[in-house]
Amino acid sequence: MYTQLFGHYLLNNGIIGADELHAALTALTRIKVKLGAAAIDAGYMNAEQVEEVHEIQHTIDKRFGAIAVEKGYLTDEQARSLLSRQKNSNLVLGQALIDFGFITNKQFEDALNDYKRKASLINGDTEEERMENEMIGLLGINDMPDKDFYADYILLFIRNLIRFLGDDFSFSGVSRNVTVSMNYACTQEITGPLSATVAIGGTEHGFVGIAARYSGEELNETDGYTKACVGELLNLQNGLFAVNTSNTKNEELDLLPQESFEKYMINIPENGICVSLSFSFGDIKIAVVKH
Amino acid sequence: MKISDITVMICDDSPLVIKKTGNVLRKIGINSIITASDGEEAVTQYKSSKPDLVFMDIVMPKKTGLDALREIREFDPDSKVVMASTIGTQSNLIAAIKEGAFEFLQKPIKEEDILKVINRMLKE
């Protein structure tokens, strides 16, 4: 997550181009050590425990470290030590950009200091608030009446994409007040006090790529099974969002069955959002319109 | 009853969930598996096949899992229907228990959850 936010900052400020960011992020997937692997490497956890924590992450929106501590696999101190390694992912991204010759050490130092300064201006009291504030800033939705809803929803979606698809993506745009088209899409209605229409889709490569990574299978075409896999990811995201909303706001949400479309179009009003992401396998979009 | 004698119905509108749950069932020795992709089909299939155990999604087209559960329980009060949903909220849990669900699981269903349910069923 930090890598994506910092990468977006570098892109937005013209320090690097989209192709350069994409190349660096793709390289990161080869070299980045995941928290579970780091825990095994440090001798804190065995592979079975790591797998169990990954399984639990399918049902609750909690971080790896938090679950591992609750299960008694890590102490608070061990979790902090592993997390501090992960937080240095900005440094890893910077190193990749320097190694490729896209930026100099000085440019990286200046950019990182400026990013930290700006991030500290929007710090929240807790890690969660800080992330939510960074997401509001990243999405450029400070003026929206439902900015907290959108920030919570997109933040959770990004976490789920990282968990279930991987983190080799960059933000390629945020749109409002436009009609968005997707070659293939899955949609779902969230009903209840925070009702909304949500859609995930994109190009054929993007759509098939989501399905292939989520199911862990080799998929090459957009058939019913591919659509079901993307729909299941959307359903999982919305299920976790409903659980979070129930736990934190005491409001109960329901979901209607997912639907899939080809040549899908959705009107994004001023109080709606479409986030475009560029994965190494293709481009995808997430559209959310609160009713 | 032996584990290999059990017939299980998986009812879910997602072929991915049917495939993954089916794989786990086959892995533990259950090969008699029937499937349904919506609530309406689940009720029809149950009435014709009377499976020993049902894994039922809640959010489905045509008829929700909770409505299908209600109809199955009316038809067969001894039915054992495990409700499974990504929305593991208190209200869904309460609704499932109220309608007589055998168990409530949050999706994706894990192998150990299935084993627990099967063991409970065999004991009862």
Residue pLDDT, tens place only, A223-239: 989 999 999 999 989 98
Q: Which residue of A has its CA nearest to B16?
A: A229
Q: A87, A121, A155 — which closes off a domain?
A: A121
- Cross-chain residue pair B106–A59, CB shorter than 8 Å: yes
Residue A38 has pLDDT above 80, yes or no: no
pLDDT at B98: 82
Q: How far is CA A116 from CA A9, A74, A122, A195, in A?
A: 11, 29, 10, 36
pLDDT at A238: 92
User: Could you tell me the pTM of the whole model?
Assistant: 0.72
A114 vs A166, residue with greater confidence: A166
Q: Do A167 and A117 belong together in one domain?
A: no
Cis ω before B77 (30° cut-off from 0) = no
Measured at the CA of A35, the angle between CA A148 and CA A43, to 5 degrees, comes to 150
Q: Do A195 and A253 belong together in one domain?
A: yes
Q: A70, A104, A121 — which closes off a domain?
A: A121
pLDDT at A189: 95
Tokens 């993954």 label which residue?
B20
Q: Do A56 and A96 belong together in one domain?
A: yes
pLDDT at A162: 85
Tokens 């919305």 label which residue?
A238
Pairing status of strand A178-191 against strand A259-268: antiparallel
Please state the φ and ψ torsions of residue B56, each to the nearest 5 degrees. -125, 125
CATH H-level, domain B3-119: superfamily: Response regulator (3.40.50.2300)
- Among B15, B59, B89, beta carbon nearest to A243: B89
Evaluate whether B2 touches B28 at the Cβ level (below 8 Å).
Answer: no
pLDDT at B90: 67
Q: Is A101 exposed, middle or buried (0-12, 13-18, 19+ CB in 10 A)?
A: exposed
- Cross-chain residue pair B16–A55, CB shorter than 8 Å: no
- Among B13, B16, B61, beta carbon nearest to A215: B16
Residues in B closer than 8 angstroms to A61, CB to CB, are none
Using one digit for the tens of pLDDT, what is the confidence trace for B29-59?
A: 999 999 999 999 999 999 999 999 999 998 8
Residue A278 has pLDDT above 60, yes or no: yes
Q: How many CB pairs under 8 A join A and B?
A: 59
Pairing status of strand A272-279 against strand A169-175: antiparallel
**Helix, strand, coil share of chain B (percent; to 5):** 50, 20, 30
Per-residue pLDDT of chain B (124 residues), as tens digits, is 788 899 999 999 888 889 989 999 999 899 999 999 999 999 999 999 999 999 999 888 889 999 999 999 999 999 999 998 887 666 777 788 888 999 888 877 788 888 889 988 888 7
Evaluate whether A287 touches A180 at the Cβ level (below 8 Å).
Answer: yes
Domain of residue A70: give its range: 2-121
Position B116: which residue type?
K
Q: Do A190 and A92 belong together in one domain?
A: no
Residues in B closer than 8 angstroms to A58, CB to CB, are 108
In angstroms, how far is CA A236 from the centroid of its own chain? 14
A252 vs A198, residue with greater confidence: A198
Question: Taking the CA of residue A288 as centre, how many other CA atoms within 13 Å lie in the half-sphere pointing to its CB?
Answer: 27
Measured at the CA of B111, the angle between CA A158 and CA A163, to 5 degrees, comes to 10
Q: Which residues pair with A80 in a beta bridge?
A: none
Residues in A closer than 8 angstroms to B110, CB to CB, are 55
Q: Do A152 and A198 belong together in one domain?
A: yes
Q: Do A101 and A159 belong together in one domain?
A: no
A63 vs A185, residue with greater confidence: A185
Between CA B82 and CA B105 the distance in angstroms is 7
Measured at the CA of A35, the angle between CA B115 and CA A19, to 5 degrees, comes to 120
CATH code (residue A225): 3.40.1550.10
Map residue A173 onto helix, strand or coil: strand
Per the domain annotation, does A110 fall within a domain?
A: yes
Per the domain annotation, does A130 fall within a domain?
A: no
Residues in B closer than 8 angstroms to A240, CB to CB, are 86
